[in-house]
Amino acid sequence: MSKFRFEPQTTLKHSISCTGTGLHSGAKVNMALHPAEPGTGVLFRRIDVEARTATVPALFDRVTASNLGTTISNAEGISVVTVEHLLAALYGTGVDNAIIELDGPEVPIMDGSAAPFVMLVESAGIVHQNAPRRTLRVLKKIELRDGDRMVSLTPADRLTVNFEIDFDSAAVCHQSGDFLMKNGTFKAQLARARTFGFLKDVDMLRAHGFALGGSLDNAVVVDDDKILNEDGLRYPDEFVRHKMLDAIGDLSLAGARVEGHFCGIRSGHSLNNQLLHALFADSSAWCWSFGGVDSPAENMKWMQPAAVAMA
C-alpha cells in the first residue's frame, strides 16, 4: 500500500496586476491575479460584465474555440480568449489556485511568451495551503491522430513533453524538443519562447478580426526564410519551445497537476484539447492521486468544486 505524502496546494501570496494588449482584439486590457482558496483551481472573472455571469473556470470542457489560441467560456456564453500562456506560467511556477480578473475578453499578450506572467507570479510570491494537492495520473496510453498530426498521453511519474513541428519555411523547418517539468525548468527552458506567425498570413487574419494587436513586439514573424524581428530568436529552437509551452497551458485545463508523458507531432490547441476529452472519457485511463495515494476516477463535477459552483 502506498504511503501518503502531504503535498500542499499553493496560491499567490499577494495580488498583483498588469496592463497589456489583446493579441487578437488589439484592445487594452487590465488584468489582476489574486490568491484563492484551496480547491478553487484557476478561475477567470470578467469584471466588465454582470457579476452573476462573470466567472469562467479554466477547465478542458469549457474550451469553445481553439483555432488561433485557446478560448474558454461559461454556460452563459461569457468567454476569455488566449488563456494558454498565462495558464502555462501558473502551471510552470506551481500555482494551483488563483482568481484572474480581467476588464475585457482577452488575456494580454505581453511579449508573446509566458515570461512576463512568470515574473508577475514571482513578484506576488507563492504560499502553501493546508490542503493536499491533487494530481491527475495517466494509467494507460491515449492517442489521437488527424492526418499527419498526432497527440498522445502515456504513463509517467511526472509531466514530460515531447514535441515535433514541421513547417514549409527554411526559417522554421523541422524542429523537435523534449521537456521535463521540475523545479525551475519551465522558467529556464520554455517561458521566454514567443508565439510566432507568418507574414503571408497577416492580412488574411486581420481581415477576419484576428491578430489586430500583433506586432514584432509580441510575436516572432517569419517571412519565407527570414526572421523579421530585429533581435532575432531567443533560442535556436524557439518555435518548438513555444509549442511545448502552449501544450502545457492546454494540459493545465485538466484541473490538476498531470503525471504523464505528452507527445505532440504537428499538434495545436484543438487536438491538445481533444486529447483531454478522450482521456477523461475513459475512466480506466486515469485516476486522481493525493500525496502518492491513488483515488478512483470520480464524478467530473467534483474536479473544481469552488469554480463550478461559481460558474
C-alpha 53 chain-centroid distance? 23
Q: Which residues lie across from 66 on neighbouring strands? A: none
The SS3 assignment for 279 reads helix
Rounded Cα–Cα distance for residues 261 and 277 (Å): 16
The answer for residues whose C-beta is within 8 angstroms of residue 188's C-beta and 6 or more apart is none
Decide if 234 contacts 194 (C-beta within 8 A): yes
Alpha helices in the chain (DSSP H): 84-93, 115-124, 185, 199-207, 238-251, 269-281, 305-310
Residue labelled with grid coordinates 499527419 = 148
Rounded Cα–Cα distance for residues 169 and 164 (Å): 15
C-alpha distances out from residue 163 to 150, 172, 238, 261, Å: 10, 14, 12, 11
266 backbone φψ class: left, alpha, beta (φ>0; ψ -120 to 50): left
Q: Report the Cα–Cα distance between both ends of the chain, in Å, rounded.
A: 38
Q: Which of 92, 3, 80, 5 is nearest to 43 (CA)?
A: 80
- Active-site residue flag, 34: no
Q: Which residues lie across from 278 on neighbouring strands? A: none
Which member of 34, 85, 269, 277 is catalytic? Answer: 269
C-alpha distances out from residue 206 to 23, 71, 187, 210, 227, Å: 11, 18, 32, 5, 20
List active site positions. 269
